Amino acid sequence: MPSREPQILPPAFVPPYLLSRLAESASPPLSDCAANTLTIDREHRALRALVPPAVVSNITGTPVRPARPDSPERAIHDAGHTTELPGRLVRTEGKPATGDIAADEAYEHLGATWRLFREVYERDSIDGAGMPLTGSVHYGRNYDNAFWNGAQMVFGDGDGQVMNRFTIAVDIIGHELTHGVIDHEAALVYQGQPGALNESICDVFGVLVKQHTLKQTARQADWLIGAGLFMPSVKAKALRSMAEPGTAYDDPVIGKDPQPAHMKDFVSTPQDNGGVHINSGIPNRAFYLAAVAVEGPAWEGVGRVWYDTLRDRRLRADADFAAFATLSIEMASRRFGAGSAVHKAVADAWLATGVTEP
């Protein structure tokens, strides 16, 4: 059984508190899958703490070289249910589908994330300098998570009882790759409010990848993160809801979604790196409110404000919600004009979630 002591875990899609619940209350083999996932996640943290990203790139065997300006440079590997990375190379850029649904989903969704950042924000891959996009599927056995390790994406197949394969939703991949973008920009500390901002920004760009792929306006979108991840027997819409934090799931096995939507309900906890996956619901809700208040696609208006804010050198690594809010309001005014629809929507959204005061 996993330790009950609070531990700093690395960025990964499924929060540690949900995995801990499965490990402690579910029956085998599901509890064993969750416990094994938590163990792997801790080992992943140790690797990120000890090995700089450039060295991790050498470990994966993926050379860092400029991508072609008109397309990403993707490489998909099959880890063969081991934890050795990157695994056997199964698909490279421009090659046909493999017939392995996980490998082909990873290839397509890596491309979708690249296209959002390239076509909308003129960013050349994750590092802004043409970094190749590498992914490994079939990682471990019944591994219930996905993560960015500083150099590549890693995807588990899920346990088949509660969780499906982690390549199933494009926003999962968009979310995790955005951790890489944050690493190269603000490097937000993965603890407390800065950590919750880190998670929220990843949700923002994960959902924007989905909306951009589906060509949806903000008002057409479902604003769900990880829809399809839970098996049909689980009472869950997704892992998180940006529109209604706290409503994504309510199930006897995985528990109830604990996310707050307003600062009055902010959760103070030593668990989950100080609630990074929990309190991210507050800035998530702020982004949603701002986006739906503006006509058209979210990636063009409020999404651009969030990207500008993330890249602003004044955004400190230890920024809290209020600091990000203040800077984003300024960025909205600077790009779209003081008193513009976007500027007003951003300011109103932070006020509505209690992050700023009248």
Q: Give me the active site residues, please.
A: 176, 277
Query: How far is residue 58's CA from residue 86's CA, in Å, rounded to a whole number?
Result: 11
Query: How far is residue 303's CA from residue 300's CA, in Å, rounded to a whole number?
Result: 6
Helix (H) or strand (E) holding 89: strand 88-92
For 303, counting Cβ atoms within 10 Å of its Cβ (0-12 exposed, 13-18 middle, 19+ buried), the class is buried
| Residue matched to tokens 């959760």 | 267
Helices (H) and strands (E) in the chain, counts: 11, 9
CA quadruple 61, 106, 228, 304: dihedral positive or negative? positive
**Contact assessment for residue 210 and residue 218, using Cβ atoms and an 8 Å cutoff:** no
Q: What are phi and psi for residue 302, nearest 5 degrees?
A: -65, -30
Q: DSSP secondary-structure letter at 66?
A: P
